[in-house]
Chain A
Amino acid sequence: MQRFALKTAALAVSMSLSGVALAEKTVITIESWRADDQAIWDEKILPVFEAAYPEIDVEFKPTAATEYNAALNARIAGGTAGDIITCRPFDNSLAMYDAGSLADIKGMAGLENFSDVAKAAWSTDSGDAIFCVPMASVIHAFMYNKEAFAELGLEVPTTEDEFYSVLDSIAEEGSYIPLAMGTKDQWEAATMGYTNVGPSYWGGEEGRLAILSGDAKLTDDAYVEGFRQMQRWTSYLGNGYQAQGYTDSQNLFTLGRAAIYPTGSWEITGFQENADFELGAFAPPRKDANSKCYISDHTDIGIGMNAATENKEAVTTFLEWTTSAEFAGLLTNAAPGFFSLGNHDIDVENELAQEFVAMRGNCESTIRVAHQILSRGEPALGNQLWTLTANVINGSMSPEDAAVEAQANLDGWYKPE
């Protein structure tokens, strides 16, 4: 009897032990600035991964976009950062790699699914190391309120002249603010304004590479024109646009008070949820009927491994999964507006997202002008463009002066090869 009791006890103990072993999952966390996408990751993307790899539990833990870099760097320095790091493109992540915070993943399986252009955003200048898996690009353009356009009898503009005549008609009619943009948070002015329409004037990639090679200067007419366009926008913005922040602009547009919103494809999900009118998109206007059209198809998001992670294996498993067609399909359709950078054939289901993708066929693609290499000075040119563009729109600086300041920044440190 006693022996039986002992046996039962031993069995119970061993069973409970094995139970513990079964339940012990590897938990890995993702750092991201896409707080808006929490539900998409939690409900659509991660369950698929966890079903395929039940031993790994992935948690998506985003930080507010404006605080992401500061908070992430502090957490990395303190050793409390997540296992997986969502990577900003180019120098920001490169600096993290150089500091030893991001692991080199060059040999990882699945990276062959990405083009060199996509990988360039997360490689060292020499291409020796790759530190993030390219995840998605965002396309800059304009969204418009289809109902407002129908009501005012407006056609989608394709050239600069048409664009301004549409804006003029909206302003004259008076029931809509022509452009929903403000300068308070500064970054929209540069990101959705200057780098959105600018490529039409400096010729997209050609113009961007000319700055990199030193063949052109930001003070050249083609680049100043970007700032001049911003100055021209001033009269189409809402009252008090100087104190209008990013969320104010979003609300102005989704509440139907503004007709056109200079934007990027990342707004699709949020806008379709909040706006109760039909949305359309059009590419940045061409300079004139004879010129090409250019879009900023910006390699915006990558995903890499915290070099200090204790779960290298699980993280590698996850990163390899992000190179798969399955992940590309999930991301593209769960987060419409983030277009997978892989070579997989993905059907875009969302109609508005389709309009953005279609621009790739009609227009030449480029990326944001200041992102590659040019932002290594003090201040980072990317940041300086925020302030300069906002100053031009606020009228405290002329387009020419803004260009002179931006070029002075480059002259101070950049030696083209």
Chain B
Amino acid sequence: MHTDNPIPDYVKRRWYILVFLAPATLIYTVFAIYPIVESLRLSLYVSDEGQSQFVGLANYLRLLGEPYWAEQFWNAFKNNVVLFIMHMLIQNPIALALAALLSIPTLKGAAIYRTVFFLPTLLSVVVIGFIWQLILSPLWGVTPDAMEAIGLGLWFKPWLGLESSALVTVTLISIWQYVGIPLILFYAALLNIPEETIEAARIDGLNGWWIFWKVKLPMILPTLGLVSILTYIGNFTASFDLIYSIQGGLAGPNFSTDVMGTFLFRTFFGFQAQLGDQFMGATVASALFFIILVGVGCYLFGVQRKLQRYDS
């Protein structure tokens, strides 16, 4: 052994580890870590006559302290939370139920159902936004006439235009679009459960209903956790495009569908008479980053480590 060699032997022996790590490290650093760090850095500056000037946490104090900013921030945050809860209570149970039905081996036409359920996910958000706007339009939509035909005409409301119902409507559209993703994840997890386990349960006298609750569900708990955290992240990041395409950048009516994404967009790029502010924009983006970080952190340390994995 050469003691004067600066590179330790074990590194030399396992050089290929570095080679294999390099591509992912490089790509993530350039396209994810660097932009995040850079936007965190931007959030500590303000524009002063064309120059950026370091102000520490002043932007965050402004975001949470000044009524104009705080109001928008908490409103967007609240809407995001509503969005998340609705997805958890509606989208994921529906996806789980559909996946459970699809995974019944004797079901005919499972492939067709699977495709149909997943199809909306593949469509562009702009298309989805446009279609649903048309469907629900009080002027040209099919909904008013369809409801009229079954005697519910009086119940029709311009849901997307009412403060009380706009957010719920947009959320339901989002659920309609994205239900396919948790569905496929649950479905794959259910298919992974070994046949013997289920047979054993059946021999022990459990019917299909109890097999689902007592055998299948515990075995797909890790997937349930994964879907929850994906829903959480998705609601804070992916809700922007749908809301922007349906309700526009002002997330009307009266900001009732404003989420962190649309708030960030307006702040960073500006909107009509409102000028963009990259530093405040970066502050909103960083706040969003911390919200997601806290949520994911809680999940990782609070939930995932306690989940028991059943090896199959």
Q: Known: A95-B275, A379-B274. Contact between A70 and B252, CB under 8 A?
A: no
Knowing A240-B158, A244-B158, A390-B252, the reply to whether A382 touches B138 (Cβ < 8 A) is no
CA distance A364 to B69 in the complex (A): 39
Identify which of B69, B254, B276 contacts A391 (C-beta below 8 A): B254
Within 8 A of A (CB), among B256-275: 265, 269-275
Q: How far is the CA of A305 from the CA of B275 in the complex (A)?
A: 19
Are B276 and A73 closer than 8 Å at their CB atoms?
Answer: yes
Cα distance, A73 to B269, chains bound together (Å): 7
Q: Please tell me which one of the listed residues B139, B247, B273, B276 contacts residue A248 in the complex, with CB atoms under 8 A apart.
A: B139
**Assembly CA distance A248 to B50 (angstroms):** 41
Q: Are A382 and B273 in contact (CB under 8 A)?
A: yes
Q: Mark A32-69, 1 if CB is under 8 A from B, else 0.
A: 00000000000000000000000000000000001001
Is A183 in contact with B270, judged by CB distance below 8 angstroms? Answer: no
Whether, in the assembled complex, B148 has its beta carbon less than 8 Å from a beta carbon of chain A, the answer is: no
Interface residues of B in 154-169 (CB under 8 A from A): 156-163
Pick from B138, B158, B254, B273: contact of A383, CB under 8 Å: B273
Contact B276 A70 (CB under 8 A): yes
Residues A70 and B50 in contact, CB atoms below 8 Å apart: no
Residues in A whose Cβ lies below 8 Å from that of B140: 248, 251
Contact residues of B between 25 and 41, Cβ < 8 Å to A:
none
> What is the interface of chain B mostly: helix, strand, loop, or mixed?
loop
The answer to the question of B118 belonging to the interface, with a C-beta cut-off of 8 Å to chain A, is no
132-158 of chain A: CB within 8 A of chain B: none
Residues facing A in B184-207 (CB within 8 A) are none
Interface size class of A (residues with CB under 8 A): 35 or more
Question: A83 near B: Cβ within 8 Å?
Answer: no
A91 engages B273 (CB within 8 Å)? yes
A386 within 8 A of B: yes
Best-surrounded residue of A95, A238, A243 (most CB of chain B within 10 A):
A243
| B137 adjacent to chain A (CB < 8 Å) | yes
Chain B residues with CB below 8 A from A380, complex form: 272-275
User: How distant is B172 from chain A, measured CB to nearest CB, in Å?
Assistant: 15
> Is A407 in contact with chain B by the CB < 8 A criterion?
no
Residue contact B161 to A184, C-beta cutoff 8 Å? yes
**Quick one: closest A residue to B156, CB to CB?**
A240
Contacts of A99 in B (CB 8 A): 50
Mark B42-86 against chain A: 1 for CB-CB distance below 8 A, else 0.
Answer: 000000001000000000000000001100000000000000000
A244–B144 CA distance with the chains assembled, in angstroms: 14
CB closest chain-B residue, reference A69: B270
The answer to whether A396 touches B252 (Cβ under 8 A) is: no
Residue of A98, A238, A387 near B250 (CB, 8 A) is: A387
Contact between chains at B272 and A184 (CB < 8 Å): no
Tell me whether B136 and A243 are in contact (CB under 8 A).
yes
Apart from A370-B273, A382-B273, what 5 extra A-B contacts exist at CB < 8 Å?
A69-B271, A70-B265, A184-B160, A251-B139, A394-B163
B residues with a Cβ closer than 8 A to A are: 50, 68-69, 136-140, 144, 156-163, 247-250, 252-255, 265, 269-276, 278
11 A–B contact pairs at CB < 8 A? A70-B276, A99-B50, A184-B253, A238-B139, A243-B136, A244-B161, A378-B68, A383-B271, A383-B274, A386-B272, A390-B254
Q: Which 6 A-B pairs have the closest CB atoms?
A: A240-B138, A242-B161, A243-B161, A243-B158, A240-B158, A70-B269
